[in-house]
Chain A
Amino acid sequence: DGGITQSPKYLFRKEGQNVTLSCEQNLNHDAMYWYRQDPGQGLRLIYYSQIVNDFQKGDIAEGYSVSREKKESFPLTVTSAQKNPTAFYLCASYSGFGYTFGSGTRLTVV
C-alpha cells in the first residue's frame, strides 16, 4: 500500500538534545511538508521541499532543520535551539488533490 510513514509515533526529548523525526513516502510525490500542531493552534508550516536537494523555510523554521537527499525521505531534526518543542508533528506530501498525511509523531520534552 502506498502512503507516508512517520516514526516514531511517540518521542521523548531531554533538555539540550537533538532528535530526528523520520518521514518516508512511497507515493512518488515530489513535494513534502512538515507541520507542527499545538492545541487550538491549527497546523503551522515548519519546512517544505518541492524537489530533491532543495527545501524552503516555512513560518516557524527556527530551531528545526531538514534534509531531502532522496525523493522518498524528508527527515526533520528538532535541535536544542527549539525551546518549546512539545507538539504533534505531521509530515505530508502533495498528491494532486491536497495533501496525504502521515500518522504523526508526538514529541514531548522530559
Chain B
Amino acid sequence: QKEVEQNSGPLSVPEGAIASLNCTYSDRGSQSFFWYRQYSGKSPELIMFIYSNGDKEDGRFTAQLNKASQYVSLLIRDSQPSDSATYLCASQGAGSYQLTFGKGTKLSVIP
C-alpha cells in the first residue's frame, strides 16, 4: 500500500516567518512529488513539483527532496496571511499517471 504521510497541523507561524511543511512516503519507486495548496471550500492548485534530489526554488517557495530518506518538504519564506491554507503532498510512481495524496497540513499565518 503506497502511503504519503503528513502532519495534519494546524501549523501556526507569524507573518514574515518561514513555514516548513514536511511529508514522508512509503513507496521507494516514487519518482515525482507535488505540493498543492487548497483554500477552504476550493479545489487544490499545484504550487511546486520536484523529481530530483535537492532543492527547487520558485519565488517564496522551496521544495526539498531526499529520496534516501523518503522525505519531501516545502518551505515558504516571508509567510503571508494569504498563505493560510491546507497543503497537500503527493507522490507519483514510476510509469504511472496516478498520484497518491497525503491528508494535508493546515497552515495558519498569524498577522
Contacts and interface: CB of A to CB of B under 8 A. Distances in A.
Given A43-B88, A98-B90, A98-B92, A50 B45 contact: no
Contacts of A102: 43
B56 interface: no
Interface string B93-111: 0000111011110000000
B92 to A, nearest CB: 7
B81 interface: no
Main secondary structure of the interface of B (DSSP, over half): strand
B60 interface: no
Interface string B3-39: 0000010000000000000000000000010101000
Given A48-B98, A50-B97, A94-B97, A42 B88 contact: yes
B34 A42 contact: no
Given A41-B103, A94-B97, A104 B46 contact: no
**Interface residue tally on A, bucketed by range:** 10 to 19
24 contacts: A31-B98, A33-B98, A42-B101, A42-B102, A42-B104, A43-B44, A43-B88, A48-B98, A90-B44, A94-B97, A97-B46, A98-B34, A98-B46, A98-B90, A98-B92, A99-B44, A99-B46, A99-B99, A101-B43, A101-B45, A102-B43, A103-B43, A104-B42, A104-B43
**Interface residue tally on B, bucketed by range:** 20 to 34
A90 B45 CA distance: 12
Contacts of B71: none
A98 B101 contact: no
B60 to A, nearest CB: 20
A103 B44 CA distance: 8
A40 interface: yes
B49 interface: yes
Most buried by A among B36, B43, B88, B98: B43
B30 to A, nearest CB: 13
Closest 6 CB pairs of A and B: A42-B103, A94-B97, A101-B43, A98-B34, A31-B97, A43-B101
